[in-house]
């Protein structure tokens, strides 16, 4: 089984987010780490490798310094690493990023693709689902648990108050939640071995079936109007309705209160 895990180097937002005057993230002022959801996805892949046997390849798109998270992934147990980097790919939004990753993945063998649910820098949760569309793969988002049965992945998709159990034929794509597992530590020897291994570098010319109009800044339809620190979602209110009509009236009233309808 070939598993490709897409990972991203992100600024560590644990100590708060710092912005440049123009509203973009001040990445230089923050430590660079492997995105937590992606790390959970990698751990899931490594556990499948431990249990069923698999080759795990990590792929990242970014600046050359993103090499660090590829080394970290290999020190955790990934077999191969691919860095997709090229000046023309810079300034990409989620659309251009997913198109670029799709171009890179078309050049690789995979039965299962795993991405994190979302990155802690942009918090869009769009790249994984977009990638599945570009590659024509079925997707299970918000995966909180998974196992393999023959050619199928049995995955739990998390919701706020329940989960769905889905059976999906491979090849398919999963987006992982950090709740999926507790990622393993690297080993000291693994770190030194990781720096001895080659990292495959892919540039624009290596992307398969990818249009120039879909990559880099030119291929990015998103315009950032304003960026702000993440606002935590409140606990919410639970209301047990007497019947469907009561439920509809309650919801309508709340929406009117907020001038949404």
Using CA atoms, how far apart are residues 176 and 231, in angstroms rounded to an integer? 22
Residues 15-54: x where in contact with another protein by CB under 8 A, - otherwise, as a string: ----------------------------------------
Nearest to 7 by CA among 31, 51, 43, 55: 43
Nearest to 185 by CA among 42, 19, 56: 42
Does 191 contact another protein by CB under 8 A? yes
Does 189 contact another protein by CB under 8 A? yes
Q: How far is the CB of 92 from another protein (least distance, A)?
A: 26
Number of residues lying near another protein (CB under 8 A)? 13
Using CA atoms, how far apart are residues 10 and 1, in angstroms rounded to an integer? 28
| Subset of residues 62 to 91 that bind another protein, contact rule: CB under 8 A | 68, 71-72, 75
Q: How far is the CB of 208 from another protein (least distance, A)?
A: 31
Residue choice 21, 185, 225, 233 for contact with another protein (CB under 8 A): 185
Using CA atoms, how far apart are residues 184 and 46, in angstroms rounded to an integer? 9
Does 259 contact another protein by CB under 8 A? no
DSSP 259: T
Does 108 contact another protein by CB under 8 A? no
Strand, coil or helix: 151: coil
Select the span of 108-116, 182-190, 201-209, 228-236 touching another protein (CB under 8 A).
Answer: 182-190
Using CA atoms, how far apart are residues 67 and 89, in angstroms rounded to an integer? 16
Distant-in-sequence, close-in-space partners of 3: CB < 8 Å, separation ≥ 6: 45, 48, 49, 54, 55, 56, 57, 110, 111, 112, 113, 114
Q: How far is the CB of 192 from another protein (least distance, A)?
A: 5
Q: How far is the CB of 31 from another protein (least distance, A)?
A: 10
Contact residues for another protein, defined by CB under 8 A: 68, 71-72, 75, 185-192, 195
């Amino acid at each position: 089984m070939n598993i490709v895990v897409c990972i991203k180097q992100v600024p560590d937002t644990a100590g708060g987010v710092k912005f440049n005057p123009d509203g973009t993230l001040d990445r230089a002022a923050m430590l660079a780490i492997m995105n937590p959801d992606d790390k959970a996805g990698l751990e899931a892949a490594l556990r499948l490798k431990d249990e069923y046997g698999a080759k795990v390849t990590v792929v990242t798109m970014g600046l050359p310094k993103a090499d660090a998270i590829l080394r970290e992934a290999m020190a955790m147990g990934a077999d191969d690493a691919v860095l997709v980097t090229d000046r023309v790919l810079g300034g990409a939004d989620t659309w251009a990023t997913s198109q670029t990753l799709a171009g890179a993945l078309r050049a690789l063998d995979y039965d299962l693709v795993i991405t994190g649910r979302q990155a802690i820098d942009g918090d869009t949760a769009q790249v994984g689902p977009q990638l599945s569309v570009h590659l024509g793969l079925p997707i299970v988002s918000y995966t909180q648990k998974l196992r393999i049965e023959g050619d199928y992945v049995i995955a739990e998709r998390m919701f706020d108050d329940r989960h769905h159990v889905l059976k999906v034929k491979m090849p398919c794509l999963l987006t992982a939640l950090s709740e999926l597992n507790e990622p393993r530590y690297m080993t000291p020897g693994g770190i030194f071995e990781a720096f001895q291994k080659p990292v495959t570098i892919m540039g624009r010319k290596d992307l398969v079936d990818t249009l120039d109009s879909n990559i880099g800044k030119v291929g990015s339809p998103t315009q950032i109007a304003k960026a702000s620190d993440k606002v935590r979602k409140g606990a919410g209110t639970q209301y047990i309705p007497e019947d469907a009509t009561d439920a509809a009236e309650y919801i309508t009233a709340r929406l009117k209160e907020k001038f949404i309808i």
